[in-house]
């Protein structure tokens, strides 16, 4: 399944006992089919919850274009929903948002302008489903949500292939990625969850 039992250093939660490699998982054609079927079911559920979805946005992490980003064009084609890529931690002149939209102004002659990437449709916020490979603490996903919000969009849900179900300290208790995102009105949907996988392995 692309799941490794190892001591893995995560970005925001220290060491983890499991490592989900979405690239290995998606190297099996049957897993791509399973992912597409799950994605379609979750999209139908999301549309019942929040109405129309205007755009799919995929998260590019520091490691580069890995994981769910390899599904970007296929999921966009299957759903007929346009897509974009966000790179929350990009520094320098590289674009943090890679997006084609009808309001982008072109340049003529010497009159060059900086293009503002905006998640707006007819003046209204685009309703967005965010797609990533793994949820650990939810911090990276939340950074992407904030970037999209600052560009005028509204993230309705985040879909991930694997939820580690890590809990991190929060106030006087602990909090999961799903709970953290829920505080920002974002529903987290995961195709695979750590507890489910561990139960399956033990059986």
Least Cα distance to 137 among 10, 25, 33, 38 occurs for: 10
CA distance 163 to 192: 6
Residue with the larger pLDDT of the pair 17 and 152: 152
Q: What is the pLDDT of residue 171?
A: 76
CA distance 39 to 24: 18
Q: What is the pLDDT of residue 31?
A: 92
For range 95-114, the mean pLDDT: 67
CA distance 31 to 67: 13
Percent pLDDT > 70 in the chain is 79
Residue ranges of the alpha helices (H) in the chain? 22-25, 29-50, 72-79, 139-150, 177-182, 194-202
What value, to the nearest 5°, has the Cα angle with vertex 143 and ends 16 and 195? 30
CA distance 71 to 131: 9
For range 59-67, the mean pLDDT: 72
pTM: 0.85
Highest-scoring range by mean pLDDT, 16-30, 46-60, 111-125: 46-60
Residue with the larger pLDDT of the pair 120 and 4: 120
Question: How does DSSP assign 136-167, residue by residue?
Answer: SSSHHHHHHHHHHHHTT-EEEEEEEEEE---E
Q: How confident is the model at residue 63 (pLDDT cuts 50, 70, 90)?
A: low
Q: What is the pLDDT of residue 6?
A: 59
Q: What is the pLDDT of residues 33-59, one digit of tens each?
A: 999 999 999 999 999 999 999 999 999
Any idea which residue has 């929903």 for tokens?
Answer: 81
Q: What is the pLDDT of residues 155-176, one digit of tens each?
A: 999 999 999 888 887 778 889 9
For range 72-93, the mean pLDDT: 87
Q: How confident is the model at residue 107 (pLDDT cuts 50, 70, 90)?
A: low
């Amino acid at each position: 399944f692309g799941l490794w039992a190892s001591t893995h250093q995560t970005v925001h939660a220290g060491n983890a006992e499991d490592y989900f490699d979405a690239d290995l998982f998606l190297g099996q054609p049957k897993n791509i089919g399973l992912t597409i079927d799950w994605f379609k079911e979750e999209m139908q559920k999301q549309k019942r919850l929040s109405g129309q979805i205007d755009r799919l946005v995929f998260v590019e992490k520091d490691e580069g274009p890995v994981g769910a980003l390899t599904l970007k064009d296929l999921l966009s084609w299957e759903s007929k929903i346009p897509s974009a890529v966000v790179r929350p931690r990009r520094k320098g002149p590289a674009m943090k948002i890679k997006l084609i939209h009808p309001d982008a102004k072109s340049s003529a002659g010497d009159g060059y302008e900086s293009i503002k990437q905006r998640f707006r449709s007819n003046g209204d916020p685009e309703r967005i489903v965010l797609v990533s490979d793994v949820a650990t603490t939810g911090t990276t996903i939340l950074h992407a949500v904030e970037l999209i919000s600052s560009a005028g969009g509204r993230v309705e849900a985040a879909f991930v292939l694997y939820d580690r179900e890590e809990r991190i300290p929060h106030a006087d208790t602990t909090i999961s990625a799903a709970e953290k995102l829920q505080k920002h009105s974002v529903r987290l949907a995961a195709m695979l969850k750590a507890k489910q996988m561990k139960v399956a392995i033990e059986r």
